[in-house]
Amino acid sequence: MSAWAAKRFWKAASAGECEGGFTVHLDARPVKTPAKTPLVVPTMKMAQALAVEWDAQSGVINPATMPLTRAANSALDKVAPNFDAVVDELAGYGGSDLLCYRADSPAQLVARQATGWDPLLAWSHSDLGAPLRVTAGVIPMPQPHGSLQNLRAHVAGHSAFHLAALHDLVAITGSLVLALAVARNRLSAEQAFELSRIDEAWQVEQWGADEEATATEAKRKDALLIAERFYGLSG
């Protein structure tokens, strides 16, 4: 029987060592991914966190309540077999990083972006070896080739599990620099989220909050915090 059967069939989920790393057992059965790949993860802490998600299931299994398990499945079934393509996708954000595209008015928003984003670009220059150009507006602007190569090298240095987390950190913030800052403990995911939402926060201040948009933003923030946790659990 597949570990992803529709209903709970096990009495207890447990984490343990296995060949190549750590895994989760449902009673005596090792968990497999939806693609039938053995669920072998890099750390015991991750295996234990996944076991908690499996043990929390009651009746029909709900993958939506198992974000860490879904991230591990993605690392094994999607990232690992397509590693170079995923690296290229994420590294591509360096050429259009959110932090490089600024408002030209009003002055308060311009200042808020500079205060929040300039220190991260300075960090990218000093710590990542990747100085990036800044422009006003949304017209694409070429970035230094050496900077893009260095950013790609930083991305490629991750494991498939780290890369699965980095994918969400990049996609949700729209910034490779913010994502790498979280990965290197320069920022927390919560700080990165707030920095990535300077424009949206400004609009809310001017026009008020939209209930649906607020709910969507809350879900995106939760997903970013989960990605941060998964990155840390990856070792």
Could you tell me if 132 and 97 are in contact, meaning their C-beta atoms sit under 8 angstroms apart? Answer: yes
In a domain, 170, yes or no: yes
Q: Is 220 found in the same domain as 152?
A: yes
Q: pLDDT by residue (tens digit) across 153-189?
A: 999 999 999 999 999 999 999 999 999 999 999 999 9
**Dihedral sign, CA of 94, 46, 3, 5?**
negative
CATH number at 123 reads: 1.10.3580.10
CATH number at 26 reads: 3.30.2180.10
Q: Are strands 101-102 and 135-136 parallel, antiparallel or unpaired?
A: parallel
Domain range for 222 is 82-233
Q: pLDDT by residue (tens digit) across 38-64?
A: 999 999 999 999 999 999 999 888 999
* Helix, strand, coil share (%) of the chain residues, nearest 5: 60, 10, 30
Write down the mean pLDDT value for the chain.
95
Q: pLDDT by residue (tens digit) across 92-144?
A: 999 999 999 999 999 999 999 999 999 999 999 999 999 999 999 889 999 99
Whole-structure pTM over 0.75, yes or no? yes
184 to each of 21, 50, 118, 210, how far by Cα in Å?
24, 24, 18, 34
Bridge partners, 93 (sequence order): none
Bridge partners, 24 (sequence order): 15
Please state, in angstroms and rounded to a whole number, the distance separating the CA atoms of residues 144 and 123. 16
Least confident of 13-17, 42-46, 115-119, 209-213: 209-213
Q: Into how many domains does the chain fold?
A: 2
Q: Is 138 found in the same domain as 212?
A: yes
The secondary structure of residue 61, as a DSSP letter, is -
